[in-house]
Structures are given as structure tokens and as C-alpha cells.
Amino acid sequence: MKSSALHSLSHVVVLALTSLVLAKAAPLGASEGKPNFIFVIADDQRWDAMGVVQREHGENGRYPWFETPSMDRLAAEGVRFRNAFITHSICSPGRAGFLTGQYTHVNGVMDNVTHLPVNSITHATLLRDAGYQTAYFGKWHMFDQTGPRPGFQHSASFINQGIYQDCPFEINGVMTSTNGWVDDVSTDLAIDWLTANHDRPFSMVLGFKSPHNRRGDTNLPERLRHLYEGKTTRPTPNVALAAIYHKALTAEDVGKERGLSANSVHLDYLRHIKGIDENLGRLLDGLDELKLAEDTVVVYSSDNGYFLGERGLGDKRALYEEGLRLPFLVRYPRLFPKGKLVDEMVLNVDLAPTFLDLAGIPAHPGMHGTSFKELAEGKKVDSWRNSFLAYYRKELGDTPTCHGIRTDAAKMIVYPGRPDWTEVFDLKNDPYELQNLPADGPLAIQLKSELDKQMTALQFKPLKP
């Protein structure tokens, strides 16, 4: 065959392949069933800090009087995942996992002082390349990262932790003053952008600062400062225990020292969540007014769990249940049933592949997560995970470096260099992790085998203490 003929044939092949790629990632507004996306992420909201969960817990609820009508609305109109978890329970790593669909030892954000690499492949970059408008609002928190947020064509965000009142925002790279409570401002900016850009397919993230680092009335808007006065929260059975690495102290000693179990601390925490629930409601109302609710996937979650005095702990980081578990609500009226409960385990790294799946875009091969689309539809997925790896590398505070395996019924936590600290829990019969089982017992042997399997699959090596 002559070279000109070869050239013509190769040109045809290239055109055909290009057309195929473009067809797979076609601009979406023209196609039926291609949804918009909104991901709303709180900071430090534990899984049970929702009215719907407190009602479900009944007499075992820590704050049965607590109400979150907007979160409850999402649960009633969509799907609530009752076993959702973070793979690395700390702010920046948790957020990076949601964006990239990868564990942090691969995406590089292993702590709170690392920027998300600007060339990271995220759900935002892939949706943008497929014709979506992408926008980020509110808390980003990849340390002090500045400039437009990677993968997002529009961003209105603050630097590092920001401040609760009159927080300066960096809007598309330009520092801009604002007035009011930061989560109100973030929501205002998101709704304004949505109103101006709703006629094209979009993917938007709204990050709340609350309830992170929330102590003090001045961190709240006036409307919330005296809410819940006279209310009390209940202790849990594991409040009286100390973390394994605090065993020289009692949980009561640690809790008193840090004020972690004080009722006033808990009420302040819940006031902040009430504030973001109000803003979530404003966003949902905005979707209704624009007639976008039917075609928009809304996901609500948090960047990690949170301790409220259990084992004398506050913050997150540790691999006990309170640090790992997340709220996780998903609504997509066009496809997902109303009021659906899902008990299979989902992870933060599942968000990116799910968004791409729903948009008809292949997930990037480097993503560790799995689309939960079929679970949300109510289908049985025989091959779904029954365990996952979690870890933490010591940074601030006294939580030591650790890694572990969490199955649907049990958990093992390993502390490198401290085999005497190994913890094994039968979660099915001991949900508060009260009894540490023998590290050489039959359950531990099973869990160690599963842990080794997960570490090998993810190419994860134990972190240095």
C-alpha cells in the first residue's frame, strides 16, 4: 500500500477514534439523562449529627432533640448511606480523596500542610473536559493554597481555614472582602453563580467551614448563638474508656483537661451544624426555583468524622468509629428512589467515579473508588466491597501513626512500632468498641489476612511511626 493511502487510512482511524471519544464525553445539555452535580461538604460533621439519624437511634441517640430538616429532606427524597466512611480521617486528605477518587498515599495529600497538585485528575477536571461548567465555593483547605481551584473554572473560596465573620474570599484569584457569617456568604455566592449559569450542565462544590474549630459565640451568627439553651446531650458507653495510646490516663482525665465532654461544647457544635443545615435548605430551594432539582445529583457529606469526648477524644484522626464514619446523603430524583436506605460500605473515594459514571464518562484508571450508582438505584451488587483500608500519619496532636482494616462486622487497628497497642473489635456485637480482643485470636488472624490483602491491592506500605 502506498504511503499516501496509509496516511489517508490513518487519518480516517484518528477521526473515528476522536469521534468516539467526543461521543463518550459529549457536551451534556443536549442529551437526556445527563445530570448536573452538586457536592456539599461540611467540615468535621460526624455521621450521627443529623435529625434523621437521631430519630433512628431513639433512646440511644446522643441528642434526640436535634433537628436538621434540610438534611432530613435529602434523606427522605433520596438515599441515605448508613455505613459511609473516610479513608484518612483528617481535613485535607479527606477532601483530596473526594476529589481524586484516590487514597492519599497516591494523590499526595497526606496531611493538612500540602496543596492539591494543580495537575491532579479529579471529577472536576474530567467533567470540565466533557463540557460541564465547574465551580467551587467556600472552604477548600489544602493548607494555604491560593489561586483558582484546580479543575474548577470558577472559584470563590478562602485561604486555609478562613475566619467565621467577614471572611476575605479569593474569587477567581482576586481577594475580595465579604460581610457576614462565612457559611452564609459561601451559600450566597453559590446560589448567585447557579442562577447565572443554570442553562448549561454544571458540577459545583460547596464547602462549609462549620462545624470546624467552632468554639465561642462570636463564631456563630446572632440567630444561632442562644439556640438549644437548656438542652443536654447524652454520654455513650465508650466515654469512660481511654484510647489505647492514652492508657496511662483515664478518659475522664483527658476529657476534663480538654473540655471535650462538656455539654456546652456539644451544643456549640450542634449550633454550627444547624446553621449549615439552614444553608443547605436555601440551596435546595434555589434548585427548586430554577426547576433543576429533577436533573441534579446532590450529595451531602463531611471531610471526616468527629469525636465528642468518646475515649476522652476530640478532633478526628483516630481510627475508632467516631472518627471514620460520615454522613452521606444522595438525591437524584430522575433515577434514585425516595427514602432508600443502603447499608453497604461506601467511601469518600467513591464520589468521583460515581459522578463520572452518572455523566457517562469513564472513570480514570488511577481511581481507587467504585461507583455506587447501582446501589443508589436499589440494585443488588454482589461484588461490592466488604472491607476497606484506613490510615493516619501522625501530624498534630497525640494521635499516633496507625493503619487498619474495617470490615462490615469487625475492625483491626495497628500502630507501627507498638504491637502491644493492636486493637481488634467485633463491631457486630460491640459497636462502641468496648472490648479489645486478643491480637492473636481467630478474629485477629482473619482481619490480618484481609488487611494484608488490601495493603497489597493498594500498594500501601506501613507508615513510619
CB 362 within 8 A of CB 356: yes
Mean per-residue pLDDT for 318-337?
98
Mean per-residue pLDDT for 50-78?
96
Environment class of 434 (CB within 10 Å of its CB; exposed 0-12, middle 13-18, buried 19+): exposed
Model confidence pLDDT, tens digit, residues 223-282: 999 999 999 999 999 988 999 998 766 656 665 655 677 888 999 999 999 999 999 999
Nearest to 151 by CA among 123, 130, 171, 131: 123
Residue predicted with more confidence, 148 or 323: 323
Looking at the chain, the whole-number percentage of residues with pLDDT higher than 70 is: 89
Beta pairing, strands 79-81 & 296-302: unpaired
Mean per-residue pLDDT for 202-212?
97
Where a domain ends, among 362, 386, 410?
386
Q: How far is CA 246 from CA 172, 260, 426, 445, in A?
A: 45, 15, 21, 25
The answer to the question of residue 282 being in a domain is yes
**pLDDT above 70 for 154:** yes
The CA distance from 196 to 65, in Å, is 38
If asked whether residues 418 and 336 sit together in one domain, one would say: no
Could you tell me the CATH number of the domain that includes residue 459?
A: 3.30.1120
If asked whether residues 448 and 306 sit together in one domain, one would say: no
Residue type, 239: V
**pLDDT above 50 for 16:** no
Quote the pLDDT of residue 215: 65
Chain-centre distance of CA 212, in angstroms? 14
The answer to the question of residue 392 being in a domain is no
Nearest to 327 by CA among 59, 35, 66: 66
Environment class of 384 (CB within 10 Å of its CB; exposed 0-12, middle 13-18, buried 19+): middle
Report the predicted TM-score, pTM, of the whole model to 2 decimal places: 0.92
Quote the pLDDT of residue 7: 34
Mean per-residue pLDDT for 179-193?
98
By 3-state DSSP, what share of the chain in percent is helix, strand and coil, each rounded to 5?
Answer: 35, 15, 45
- Note the helical H segments in 48-130: 51-57, 69-77, 91-100, 104-107, 123-129
If asked whether residues 348 and 423 sit together in one domain, one would say: no
Where a domain ends, among 339, 356, 386?
386
Where a domain ends, among 330, 352, 386?
386
Q: How many domains in the chain?
A: 2
Quote the pLDDT of residue 359: 98
Q: What is the mean pLDDT of the chain?
A: 90
Could you tell me the CATH number of the domain that includes residue 121?
A: 3.40.720.10
If asked whether residues 371 and 405 sit together in one domain, one would say: no
If asked whether residues 378 and 404 sit together in one domain, one would say: no
Question: What order do you get walking across the sheet with 84-85 strand by strand?
Answer: 325-326, 84-85, 346-347
The answer to the question of residue 25 being in a domain is no
If asked whether residues 53 and 157 sit together in one domain, one would say: yes
**pLDDT above 50 for 182:** yes
Quote the pLDDT of residue 262: 83
Beta pairing, strands 174-176 & 202-207: unpaired
Quote the pLDDT of residue 255: 59
Q: Peptide bond preceding 211: is omega within 30 degrees of 0, i.e. cis?
A: yes
Q: Quick count: other Cβ atoms within 10 Å of Cβ 68?
A: 25
If asked whether residues 223 and 274 sit together in one domain, one would say: yes
CB 106 within 8 A of CB 153: no
Question: What order do you get walking across the sheet with 340-342 strand by strand?
Answer: 174-176, 169-171, 154-158, 133-139, 202-207, 36-42, 296-302, 329-331, 79-81, 340-342
If asked whether residues 405 and 378 sit together in one domain, one would say: no
Environment class of 56 (CB within 10 Å of its CB; exposed 0-12, middle 13-18, buried 19+): middle
If asked whether residues 344 and 380 sit together in one domain, one would say: yes
**pLDDT above 90 for 5:** no
Beta pairing, strands 329-331 & 79-81: antiparallel
**pLDDT above 50 for 1:** no
Q: What is the domain range of residue 447?
A: 400-465
Mean per-residue pLDDT for 399-404?
97
The CA distance from 305 to 310, in Å, is 12
If asked whether residues 289 and 172 sit together in one domain, one would say: yes
| Residues 6+ positions from 58 with CB-CB distance below 8 Å | 64
If asked whether residues 104 and 45 sit together in one domain, one would say: yes
The CA distance from 70 to 305, in Å, is 20
**Backbone phi, psi, residue 154, to 5°:** -130, 135
**pLDDT above 90 for 426:** yes
If asked whether residues 356 and 455 sit together in one domain, one would say: no
The answer to the question of residue 103 being in a domain is yes
Q: How far is CA 449 from CA 253, 368, 378, 443, in A?
A: 36, 20, 31, 10
pLDDT bucket at 29, cuts 50 / 70 / 90 = very low
Residue type, 65: W
The answer to the question of residue 21 being in a domain is no
